[in-house]
Structure 1
């Protein structure tokens, strides 16, 4: 079972793919049987999970490695050249809350909400403060929210919220809550935000 490391003892890689809807399944198969199979033989590999977007046009890999390792240095399988190359980032966890003792990534019907915040590097420290405070509000006011974990990109330009929900309806209900106003959100003036919903379709841990 994959656990999100909340003590920053692993390196986190995020590979973000955009793909034509008709090619999403093929890309996932290549990632699982070529990319992750190759990674699994690496001595610094810890885990990887593959996420399929519900809109059919995105895939991302959340991978964990021994500390300080740079997974972007590894070659990509040749067959992946048939798809647009992913955007690859190195992340670390900055804040996390969960209804249980651990944040676990498992394949199945839970819905993953990946929110991406783009910003100037000078604004990332302030965003870290704001997102840490936001976790308390979110976990206490969002029925169906299982966990939320914020990550910062090491290049300073992004933050990501990896949120886990019981189902899609639970996520969509928060958008309808009285007083919810994305135009006056905690990131206003510091970052541009977009989000997408995913299911975890595959997980792999080191032997």
Structure 2
């Protein structure tokens, strides 16, 4: 089990992979057996979790590092030459709400949705303001929503919502609400957004 540090005493690394369906399992195994084991030898490493998408063409790792360390500077094991290189970002938490005291990442059947918002850096402060409001509304009106944690990228170009749900059906219900319906873009003029659903398949903490 991993806890998301919502106080920003840790820096978040997000590695986003796109992969052919037939290679998703191989990529997950490479991340677990090669990448994370290599990360664990780094004194700045705190935790990592691996997520595989339900549509079988995406994988991402959510890692946490001691402050001021840029995990993007680390070399990638040779085995990753077989896959498309990931989109790698540094993030910090900008807003978070949860049914419990801590936001826990655990492997299992819980559904994780990762929503990505792309924007001009000048729009990020307004996005941060809006998402701070939206996270309260989402938690108040969404049965089955366990937690919602918004992150901003340090380069100013993106924001991500890491949401945890009891089931896929619970997530799909929120799409009918104003502001969450993909056909009624609440973020128009500020950001382009898309989302995908995942299962957590592996978690690791500092040894």
Which residue of structure 2 lines up, in the alignment, with residue 118 of structure 1? 118
> Offset of 1:174 from its aligned partner?
1.6
> Offset of 1:179 from its aligned partner?
8.4
Equivalent residue runs for 1:165-180 within 5 Å: 165-177=165-177
Aligned mates of 1:59, 1:84 — CA distance in 2:
11
Instruction: Give deviations 1:2-34, integer Å, cap 9, x for gaps.
Output: 111110000100000000000000000000000
> Offset of 1:178 from its aligned partner?
7.6
Which residue of structure 1 lines up, in the alignment, with residue 103 of structure 2? 103
TM (norm. structure 1) is 0.97
Aligned mates of 1:80, 1:89 — CA distance in 2:
18
Distance 1:25 1:179, change over 3 A: closer
Structure 1 position 53 matched with structure 2 position 53: yes
Distance 1:132 1:178, change over 3 A: closer
> Offset of 1:176 from its aligned partner?
3.3
Distance 1:15 1:52, change over 3 A: same
- Partner of 1:162, secondary structure, is strand
Contact kept? 2:13, 2:89, Cα under 8 Å: yes
Q: For the aligned residues, what is the CA RMSD?
A: 1.3
Q: 5+ residue gaps in structure 2?
A: none
Contact kept? 1:130, 1:187, Cα under 8 Å: no
Contact kept? 1:45, 1:66, Cα under 8 Å: yes
Contact kept? 1:130, 1:186, Cα under 8 Å: no
Equivalent residue runs for 1:83-162 within 5 Å: 83-162=83-162
> Offset of 1:190 from its aligned partner?
0.1
- Partner of 1:171, secondary structure, is helix
Q: 5+ residue gaps in structure 1?
A: none
Equivalent residue runs for 1:29-68 within 5 Å: 29-68=29-68
- Partner of 1:190, secondary structure, is coil
- Partner of 1:182, secondary structure, is coil
Aligned mates of 1:201, 1:181 — CA distance in 2:
28
Aligned mates of 2:111, 2:47 — CA distance in 1:
20
Aligned length: 207
Which residue of structure 2 lines up, in the alignment, with residue 7 of structure 1? 7
* 4+ aligned runs moved over 4 Å, structure 1: 177-180
Which residue of structure 1 lines up, in the alignment, with residue 198 of structure 2? 198
- Partner of 2:151, secondary structure, is strand
